[in-house]
Structure 1
Amino acid sequence: MSEPTLRADLMISGATLITMDATRQVIEDGALAIAGDRIIAVGKREALARTVQAQTVFDGRRFVITPGFVDAHIHITGDPLTRGFARGAPDESWSDKLMRWVIPIFRAQTAEDERLAAQCAALAMIRYGTTTFVEAGTVLQLDAVMQGLSETGIRGRVGEWVEGRAYDPGADQAKASAAAIRILESEVERYPDAGGEARLAAWPLLVGHSTNSDEVWRAAKVLADDRGLRVSAHMSPRSGDPDWFLARYNRRPLEHLADIGVLGESVMLTHLADIDASELDLLVQSGAGAIHCPHAALQGGFGLAHIGLFPEMLDRGVDVMLGTDGMAADILASGRLMASLFRDARRDQDLFPATAVLEMATVMPARAMGMSHLIGSLEAGKKADFVLHDTDLPEWGSVFDVVGQLAFSAPSGGVHSVWIDGVRVLEDGRATLIDEEKVRADARQAGRDLIARTGLPNRTPWPIR
């Protein structure tokens, strides 16, 4: 018998592997070998037992292993500390709730608030198998957030709050744009992406909607293209964005972005619930990615079931990604909700099959983020970001179609362990790198103090005595 040719720090043996590789291979009685921060071998258990000598062998027979999931749009600050606080009254418009409640809460955060909020968000994502995320571009205290995230082990791309439009007609637009561009340039210098190798890095993430001047959009796109990064921004969740762009430019939002030269493969746009056929054509032609946040769409009443074009996006080759928007932590739950929404709206039970749900949580965001050489699948040479799903739970029963069961019926709490960069950051449902109890306790107090500083009233639907 020949000697093993590979040396590994860890081998997980006997598991079922959903590799998400180019052939979408599923390996029963498989094994995964890790050295440092990389996967070095993937295959059948018997084959790897002959070729790999591992320092530690982990019995994986009760587990399904997937690549780590990607949450392509989440607010990691603000929301985690105040999620239970009602924003506005039922008779207030969406824009009033945003300007008088949501934004003041975001703006009132301290650096410590944002650090704690980011840690809460990271812990919640990891608990459900998310190993990589893209922030929504609404961080105020970037240095504190990066420090807090680094303690959790998560992989992420984060950006400061960048607008750059002078809302007052008498204000100096050039000065406002220049200030925003300086933020973009500073953050990507301080936290470089290193070709995707950095676990945490800054990207030019814009607030979007109607908040960014054309100069800021162009500068963000140039930064992204020159450095191999991505621009991400909110756009067209409802009619407010199209109405604004039509009134100002006589063009819909994506038509305007195309006209000023900022659509392309380095751009990812969130929501896109209210786009028309011409904008869909531009999205397809440009290669830009689309991020769908189904929880936000349904709770926000975007009308997605009536006007959403996400099935058409998928059919035409757009990389469609999932985001929780901070309204949920379980990215698979977002995929299930999306599939159910469009199946019902289109009366087509074959829309968004299990395979599409898993692709939207792994390979599609990896490709759209320009990181498919590092994440998104279980393949030798890629980052050791992977998730162990425990099938020894009553919700699984007998395993027949592992892909379908994981995508649509596996329990949300079924993630047992998570590795990121070859480090085990979750073990038997518990974080390994950070004191969860302390983070939770500190975050609860910080949330109460934050609301007190805003002076906003706590409105509940029923009286509390």
Structure 2
Amino acid sequence: MSTPPIQADLLVSGATLITMDAERRVIEDGALAIAGDRIVAVGKREALMQQVSARETVDGRRFVLTPGFVDGHIHITGDPITRGFARGAPEDSWSDKLQRWVIPIFRAQTAEDERIAAQLAALSTIRYGATTFVEAGTVIQLDAVMDGLAETGIRGRVGQWVEGRAYSPADDQAAVSAAAIGLLEDEVERYPDHGADSRLAAWPLLVGHSTNSDDVWRAAKALADQHGLRVSAHMSPRSGDPEWFLAKYKRRPLEHLADIGVLGESVMLTHLADIDESEFELLVESGAGAILCPHAALQGGFGIAHIGRFPEMLERGVNLMLGTDGLAADILASGRLMASLFRDARRDQDLIPATTILEMATLNAARALGWSSFIGSLEVGKKADFVLHDTDLPEWGQVFDAVGQLALSAPSSGVHSVWIDGVRVLEAGRATLIDEPKLLADARQAGRAVIARTQLPNRTPWPVT
């Protein structure tokens, strides 16, 4: 008795598959079949051509096919429509740049501005092969952002801007905390996360640093644990955070988070450049995730080449993810930068190999998000989030080692097509679900209007005539 064929909506045939499965199989002349939003078959082309009955077949012979990548930390509002505008002057301190330039630009955006910015960020993210992102917790107009993101097809988790710390002694800390906690509870209720069934949802994301009280941290952690979510926050990019925590609590940031019971698997912390040995051990023991944004670290002068413990995090099993921070949309470029940086700093040319870069962008990220069961690899039953990388480019040449070439030298322009939830959201480098030319035009106009409202001067390094 013959076995009935596997029914599929799409069969990608002839590609080289980097599966990221438990055996880390790379399948040359492979094929991938999807039905609805799930992968239903993975294997050699010849076998799947006989086993699968597909409504559509895509010729994948010139492509390397990978799972979709994950951007673990990105500001999807504020930056995308004003990226080219300089924040402050060289003589301004980091704090001044933040308070007098960066935050006013975020605050000056309307709901429509943030909607446009979010769509622009999503398009940039998809174009570089990332199908999933975690937002940095700096969205102000949450409804508009969620509406805009839904049109792009991207998978993401977003959080409204929450600051639950009373900055003035005259403020009522209990009332400030209660308002922040109420906001967290409201967004999680309005945009619930049903795991694999939710492309977009809200998480209790915190700005981090010193912006929230202990009560807000505890509430965010409790919400995450109750609903199977994650808390993400900035922490310790430079010495300012440790100095603040030492002055207020007589202990460093991660020591304090551990002491109040909020350091655990449902917490992910971004930057973590300036942590000491005690904090490092707490990070390892707690199971908390770490997110490194190499471009932001280097541009910000965090000193990670000298004090960063990220290779050690990988060695000790910390779920280390990559993030772009909105400064660089290319998540693989972030991995390459990290690898090159620490190879040079440690004088070890074999440190952080190509395999580790791809693991950070897929499996590590899926594990940190609690999503190992449905993203991160090309396996039957997982979400149909995948990318076709075009090798018909001079930078590829002959494909001898798909993993090494993709992770270390493939051009950013090589992302040809992207599927999310079984839907092709990028084809031949162009968005399929949104009007890309209109979005770009709207973004330029919105960016000019935002800067005009802030009345901040446009400081360029050389005179523009």
Give 1:113-262 correspondences, 5 Å limit. 113-262=113-262
Asked if the contact 1:389/1:415 (under 8 Å) is kept, the reply is yes
Deviation, structure 1 residue 3: 5.3
Separation (CA, whole Å) in 1 of partners of 2:390 and 2:240: 44
Asked if the contact 1:137/1:205 (under 8 Å) is kept, the reply is yes
Separation (CA, whole Å) in 2 of partners of 1:442 and 1:340: 37
Q: Which residue in 1 is equivalent to 2:6?
A: 6
Residue 413, structure 1, aligned to residue 413, structure 2: yes
Deviation, structure 1 residue 196: 3.7
Q: CA RMSD in A?
A: 0.8
Separation (CA, whole Å) in 1 of partners of 2:140 and 2:22: 39
**Secondary structure at 2:102 match in 1:** helix
**Secondary structure at 1:41 match in 2:** strand
Q: Alpha-carbon deviations, 1:209-246, whole Å to 9, x = none? A: 00010000000000000000000000000000000001
Give 1:103-122 correspondences, 5 Å limit. 103-122=103-122
Separation (CA, whole Å) in 1 of partners of 2:179 and 2:196: 27
Give 1:388-407 correspondences, 5 Å limit. 388-407=388-407
Deviation, structure 1 residue 271: 0.2
Q: Which residue in 2 is equivalent to 1:279?
A: 279
Q: Which residue in 1 is equivalent to 2:373?
A: 373
Separation (CA, whole Å) in 1 of partners of 2:367 and 2:254: 21
Q: Which residue in 2 is equivalent to 1:428?
A: 428
Deviation, structure 1 residue 5: 2.6
Separation (CA, whole Å) in 1 of partners of 2:24 and 2:220: 35
Separation (CA, whole Å) in 2 of partners of 1:51 and 1:279: 52
Which amino acid counterpart does residue 13 of structure 1 have in structure 2?
S
Q: Alpha-carbon deviations, 1:176-220, whole Å to 9, x = none? A: 000000110010111111134200000000000000100000000
Separation (CA, whole Å) in 1 of partners of 2:324 and 2:206: 18
Deviation, structure 1 residue 163: 1.3
Q: Alpha-carbon deviations, 1:370-397, whole Å to 9, x = none? A: 1111111000001100000001111001
Q: Which residue in 2 is equivalent to 1:92?
A: 92
Q: Which residue in 2 is equivalent to 1:439?
A: 439
**Secondary structure at 1:31 match in 2:** strand
Deviation, structure 1 residue 337: 0.3
**Secondary structure at 2:437 match in 1:** helix
Asked if the contact 1:122/1:154 (under 8 Å) is kept, the reply is yes
**Secondary structure at 2:133 match in 1:** strand
Q: Alpha-carbon deviations, 1:247-293, whole Å to 9, x = none? A: 11110000000000000000000000000111010000000000000
**Secondary structure at 1:275 match in 2:** coil
Residue 323, structure 1, aligned to residue 306, structure 2: no
Q: Which residue in 1 is equivalent to 2:34?
A: 34
**Secondary structure at 2:186 match in 1:** helix
Residues 181 and 196 of structure 1: CA distance in aligned 2, closer, same or farther (over 3 Å): farther
Asked if the contact 1:3/1:50 (under 8 Å) is kept, the reply is no
Q: Which residue in 2 is equivalent to 1:341?
A: 341
Which amino acid counterpart does residue 416 of structure 1 have in structure 2?
H
Identity %: 82
Structure 1 runs (4+) greater than 4 angstroms displaced:
none
Asked if the contact 1:76/1:135 (under 8 Å) is kept, the reply is yes
Give the TM-score taking structure 1 as reference length. 0.99
Separation (CA, whole Å) in 1 of partners of 2:125 and 2:261: 34
Separation (CA, whole Å) in 1 of partners of 2:4 and 2:169: 71
Separation (CA, whole Å) in 2 of partners of 1:30 and 1:124: 28
**Secondary structure at 1:207 match in 2:** coil
Deviation, structure 1 residue 120: 0.3
Separation (CA, whole Å) in 2 of partners of 1:98 and 1:225: 32
Question: Which deviates more, 193-202 or 267-276?
Answer: 193-202
**Secondary structure at 1:413 match in 2:** helix
Residue 298, structure 1, aligned to residue 298, structure 2: yes
Asked if the contact 1:32/1:41 (under 8 Å) is kept, the reply is yes
Which amino acid counterpart does residue 411 of structure 1 have in structure 2?
P
Separation (CA, whole Å) in 2 of partners of 1:360 and 1:168: 41
Unaligned runs of 5+ in 1: none
Q: Alpha-carbon deviations, 1:89-133, whole Å to 9, x = none? A: 100100100000000100111000000000000000111101000
Asked if the contact 1:39/1:381 (under 8 Å) is kept, the reply is yes
